[in-house]
Amino acid sequence: MKHLHIMALATTLAAAIQPAPAATRYTITVLPAPDPAATSVVPQAINDSGIVAGYYSQASVFTSSRPCVWRNGIPAKLPLPPGTTQSYAALAIDSAGAIVGYATDDDKIISTACLWLDGEISTFAKPAGVTSNEAYGYGRAGRVVGSYYDSTGIHAVQWYLGTPFPLAVPAGITDSGAYCGNGSGLVIGIYGSPTRPCTWLNGVFAPLPLPEANATTASPRKVNASGLIVGGYSLPNNTSYGCTWAAGQPSKLPPVAGFANSAAFDVNDAGLIVGTSSDAGFHVSRATIWQGGVAARLPEPPGTVQSIAAAINASGQIAGYYTTDGSKYLGFVLTPIPSTAPTVKITGPKKITTHKAKLTIKGRATGEVTSVTAKVGKKTVKARGTASWSLKAALKPGKNQIAVIAHGPGGDSAPAKLTVTRKP
């Protein structure tokens, strides 16, 4: 059976990297498997409460998978519908913790779209003639998007209150799928063979341009509230890149320096994009984040040889997976560590009278400090040192107002002020 959903797996597609802000630091939480027999753990989504949805495998990462969820890092298995024994879900989770995905039979011939809420499962009905359906993500509030299969092909669909509404494509196209949507009624997906990117705005189809004229395939993955779309595309030379579509116009997301391929899997409303960067042979992948089109590697658990960032939420928490041996995947969550502005103090009195033309000023700074500077009149002087600093200020005759500021990832300190009066 041909499944349209593309998992964020290191061995299939390389993710594009965007530089995390230099100031961002993370705590790393490893997600335990919900079953001692699990051989791999693959998170796929994280909501704004930090609840993670994904799946775990009991054999190859590609087979015998089961859906699961992590709340506060604690794993729980999700049930499968009767008659199904495998799942490539869960794939998306909303703010209420409702999870969508799909399950398949042993032969992966019949698939069933599923919704899990509070540990209970429900399935999406299959109208007459529909053999399979798969849920991939959320659209406008209350809507779920995905695909259904019948004798004529694979078709994009949007469910509302459990009722399926096909998403129209131009005449003659037999294959399409919807992956994600936003609150403005924009749904993103694919159509045709070879795969081409498209959107539906309030149900109206529109193709998206290829990021490069010679791209062989292209697929959007996620869209944020402002309509920024992220995805990826492939070239004839077996190279793949992540990309964005902003106002319908594509832009390539380059990999981290030293890598040949990239792929983008998710974007939050702040425009932070996560994915991975891979080498030329797709043998090594590293979790990546883009900000402003710049790629940067993300931190990884110790011993990591490959990693992928699969999802990001509004607060910048990132869910992904990694391997230390090249075969067994483990899940992780990166949580940004808030940075606070440093503080700075000047040693000694705050008013000084001197006959000298230059004065050495000393002090201390606390917190995360990258540099200390002083404004001496209209001139800026950089201090030597950070936690313990000193600088030389050139004084003009009369009163000199000096303001010292400590700079750090959390911003600038309040100024420490000094008045120096130079007498003849």
Which one-letter amino acid corresponds to residue 205? Answer: F
Produce one character per residue of 243-281: b if its CB has 16 or more CB atoms within 10 Å, e if not: bbbeeeebebbbbbeebbbbbbbbbbeebbbbbbbbeee
Please give the pLDDT value at position 139.
93
Share of the chain above pLDDT 90, in %: 79
| CB distance 274 to 295 below 8 Å | no
CA distance linking residue 377 with residue 372, whole number of Å: 16
Please give the pLDDT value at position 354.
95
Spatial CA neighbour of 307 closest among 4, 23, 39, 43 = 43
pLDDT band at 249 (very low <50, low <70, confident <90, very high): very high
| CB distance 167 to 148 below 8 Å | no
- Tokens representing 98 are 């409702």
Specify the range with the lowest mean pLDDT, choosing from 79-88, 181-190, 247-256: 79-88
CA distance linking residue 287 with residue 40, whole number of Å: 17
Specify the range with the lowest mean pLDDT, choosing from 11-15, 170-174, 178-182: 11-15
Q: Which part of the chain is CATH 2.60.40.10?
A: 343-422
pLDDT band at 59 (very low <50, low <70, confident <90, very high): low
Q: What is the pLDDT of residues 92-108, one digit of tens each?
A: 999 999 999 998 876 66
Fold of the domain built from segment(s) 26-336: Neuraminidase (2.120.10)
- Tokens representing 262 are 């990239």
Please give the pLDDT value at position 12.
28
Q: What's the rounded mean pLDDT across residues 33-42?
A: 91
Q: How far apart are the two ends of the chain, measured CA to CA in Å? A: 91
Q: What is the pLDDT of residues 293-304, one digit of tens each?
A: 999 999 999 999
Which pTM was predicted?
0.81
Please give the pLDDT value at position 22.
47
Superfamily of domain covering 343-422: Immunoglobulins (2.60.40.10)
Please give the pLDDT value at position 125.
87
Q: Is the pLDDT higher at 402 or at 9?
A: 402
pLDDT band at 369 (very low <50, low <70, confident <90, very high): very high
Residue spans of beta strands (DSSP E) within 340-415? 343-346, 351-354, 358-366, 371-376, 379-382, 388-394, 398-408, 411-412
Residue 316 pLDDT greater than 80, yes or no = yes
pLDDT band at 58 (very low <50, low <70, confident <90, very high): confident
Q: Which part of the chain is CATH 2.120.10.30?
A: 26-336
3-state secondary structure of 402: strand
Q: What is the pLDDT of residues 235-246, one digit of tens each?
A: 999 999 999 999
Which one-letter amino acid corresponds to residue 139? Answer: G
